[in-house]
């Protein structure tokens, strides 16, 4: 026998979830050329700035040298045009030369200056392309498999080389159906469920073997749109993963805690029976007899049921020996942990 007591009871909702990296980067080559080295170990952890691949730099150095040569040539042309402009301008002021000759010198000097600016930009581009021959990781994370082998010519069509995924924080993604969301909203409206302040739910990750991940997270994103194909919307939690235990695309269970059922009544699962008209329990009356009481059963909570209708706080419910009971039978009461005796 147990005496039911209404009390505020924390509850958690469980969902099948999948882990996703909070930052997964596709590593592309920005220049064309032959791949001469994969400098990392596939599946290894890398730091930001670690070298992943090397493209043959020799053609890029040649392009840089060519750009530098053109720059030097244009600088020489600009120097000559500037000197000619400096000679012509005072002579025009002295009316020794015509205005047209000054205009020609000015145009030549400006054209040479523009050519130098263009050459400087080409040198910067060539230097930048040469730097792209060494491909480094933009983030801390775990590397994927290399998609191209050494010796492959890399172009725009096959520029993807690998991926790097950050391991902390990780995202825990799960979906809530429209029916689940509507049920929760109705329970909140009726006062049967109290959500945490600011809807700051805590998310605990459980592995397939039942072990619990030591770090908890918080819900950080609710998709405002339903998926038209599944009738669900995405919920995302963020959790720290400093040891890299969680990996992208891993399946886990997400236990979402923080909500409370106010004045909830719980009874052990074995106390609830199923009859032709639904669920019922055996209630002990004041004269120590028992009677069937129809009840409305809610969710599981550990090894107990929430009872939403049919019981009041302070009533006594038979837990063990229910198969031997009959209406108006006198019983001898004992705590639920002991065997309960029923008799005529």
Query: Is 43 a residue whose pLDDT tops 90?
Result: yes
Q: What pLDDT, in 10s, does the model give residues 154-200?
A: 999 999 999 999 999 999 999 999 888 898 899 899 888 999 988 89
Joined together, the tokens standing for residue 161 give 């080389």
Share of the chain above pLDDT 70, in %: 97
Q: Are 325 and 35 in contact (CB under 8 A)?
A: no
pLDDT digits (tens, 9 = 90+) for 203-258: 999 999 999 999 999 999 989 888 888 889 999 999 999 999 999 999 999 999 99
Separation between Cα atoms, residue 246 and residue 204, nearest integer Å: 13
Residues 6+ apart with CB under 8 A from 88: 97, 101, 102, 105
Nearest to 142, CA basis, from 172, 162, 159: 162
Cα 1 versus chain centre, distance: 47
Q: For the chain, which domains are there?
A: 9-22+168-260 (2.40.30.170), 30-55+133-165 (2.40.50.100), 57-131 (1.10.287.470), 266-342 (2.40.420.20)
pLDDT value at residue 51: 97
Q: What is the DSSP string of 68-103?
A: HHHHHHHHHHHHHHHHHHHHHHHHHHTTSS-HHHHH
Q: What is the pLDDT of residue 336?
A: 59
**pLDDT at position 329, please?**
83
Could you read off the pLDDT of 48-85 as tens digits, one per residue?
A: 999 999 999 999 999 999 999 999 999 999 999 999 88
């Amino acid at each position: 026998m147990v005496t039911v007591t209404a009390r505020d009871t924390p509850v958690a909702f469980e969902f099948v979830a999948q882990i996703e990296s909070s930052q997964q980067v596709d590593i592309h080559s920005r220049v064309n050329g032959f791949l001469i080295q994969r400098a990392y170990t596939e599946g290894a952890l890398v730091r930001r700035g670690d070298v992943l691949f090397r493209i043959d730099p020799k053609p890029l150095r040649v392009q840089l040298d060519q750009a530098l040569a053109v720059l030097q040539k244009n600088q020489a042309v600009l120097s000559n045009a500037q000197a000619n402009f400096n000679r012509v301008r005072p002579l025009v002021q002295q009316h020794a030369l015509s205005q047209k000759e000054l205009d020609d010198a000015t145009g030549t000097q400006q054209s040479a200056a523009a050519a130098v600016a263009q050459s400087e930009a080409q040198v910067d581009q060539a230097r930048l392309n040469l730097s792209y021959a060494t491909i480094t990781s933009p983030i801390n994370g775990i590397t994927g498999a290399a998609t191209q082998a050494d010796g492959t010519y890399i172009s725009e069509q096959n520029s993807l080389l690998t991926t790097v995924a950050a391991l902390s924080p990780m995202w825990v993604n799960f979906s809530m159906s429209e029916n689940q969301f509507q049920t929760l909203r109705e329970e909140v409206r009726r006062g049967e469920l109290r959500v945490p302040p600011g809807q700051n739910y805590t998310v605990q990750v459980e592995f397939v073997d039942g072990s619990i991940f030591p770090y908890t997270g918080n819900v950080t994103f609710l998709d405002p749109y339903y998926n038209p194909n599944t009738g669900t919307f995405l919920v995302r939690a963020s959790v720290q993963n400093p040891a890299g235990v969680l990996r992208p695309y891993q399946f886990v269970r997400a236990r979402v805690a923080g909500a409370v059922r106010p004045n909830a009544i719980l009874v052990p699962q074995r106390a609830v029976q199923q009859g032709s008209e639904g669920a019922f329990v055996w209630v002990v009356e004041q004269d120590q007899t028992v009677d069937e009481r129809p009840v409305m059963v809610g969710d599981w909570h550990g090894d107990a049921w929430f009872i939403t209708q049919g019981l009041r706080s302070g009533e006594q419910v038979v837990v063990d020996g229910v198969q031997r009971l009959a209406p108006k039978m006198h019983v001898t009461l004992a705590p639920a942990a002991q065997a309960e005796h029923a008799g005529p």
